[in-house]
Copies of this chain bind each other. A is one copy, B any other.
Amino acid sequence: MSSTDRVTAGLLVIGDEILSGRTKDVNIGATADFCTDLGIDLMEVRIVADIEDDIIAAVNALRQRYTYVFTTGGIGPTHDDITADAIAKAFGVALPINPQAREMLESRWKQAGTEVNEARLRMARIPDGADLIVNSVSAAPGFRIGNVHVMAGVPVIMRAMLEALAPTLTGGKKVLSVAIKAWVGEGSVGSQLGEIQAQYPDVKMGSYPQMGTGRPTTELVLRSSDPMRLEEAAEKVREMVNAAHEKAGVVPPQE
């Protein structure tokens, strides 16, 4: 992975089962972690139903806006698996059976004694001009076309595909982070945190209240790709938090 200044991504999750609540998505969190590790800014996620026009509209919006687009779901063998069809239409290309994909699948099916049929061969349909993304788990490949990376929805397969494509991606500057705990509510530090944020526009500051800890607690998270600026800003935030503890008569527990 080489390094440039700013690399962005959008994620498109495809599937009725996520929108109905029947399946609880875990691919968003996995993709977010994956992008952060590679210094890629995940900027937007969309979840759409198994509706061709909706998939086409979303993928076209995202691929114009971000360096990379990832999609998950809808590349299996059944009638509701229409992601490859939608992507081919979004790019205006044909969707033939890909000989290499067919070979990957038939070789796996032969091992397992699985029948080759029309439904299963749907999984070998790959848009013209796309490269395959290897699926070490169940053989049916994903694919990359333009800046769009099409992956399975089953989490274990999706993660294997992310690993397979990691070496092909160009990451941005690695973003470092510091977390500082304040034993007061976030309203007690909000105004001053906003002032420190204004002094350090290159250090992104977030404030997250903790619930159910039995006392007001706030986690302050600072992120930057510049380690010196990050530490300088973190020191100012620590001073502010110490002053807030003193003002509130709080003695932070030893951790």
Contact = CB atoms under 8 A, between A and B. Distances in A.
A168 B89 CA distance: 40
Interface in A26-62: 26, 28-29, 32-36, 41-50, 54
Interface stretch (A17-25, A95-103, A143-151, A227-235): A17-25
A255 interface: no
Contact of A193 (B34, B79, B206): B79
Contacts of A186: 76-78, 119
How many copies of this protein are present in the complex?
Answer: 2
B78 A22 contact: no
A47 B49 contact: no
A110 to B, nearest CB: 14
Contacts of A46: 44-47
Given A47-B28, A194-B78, A187 B17 contact: no
Contacts of A22: 177, 221
A208 B17 contact: yes
B79 A205 contact: yes
Interface of A: 13, 16-26, 28-29, 32-36, 41-50, 54, 76-81, 114-115, 117-120, 122-123, 137, 154, 156-157, 177, 185-191, 193-194, 197, 204-209, 211-212, 221, 223
Q: Which 4 A-B pairs have the closest CB atoms?
A: A119-B190, A21-B32, A79-B194, A120-B187
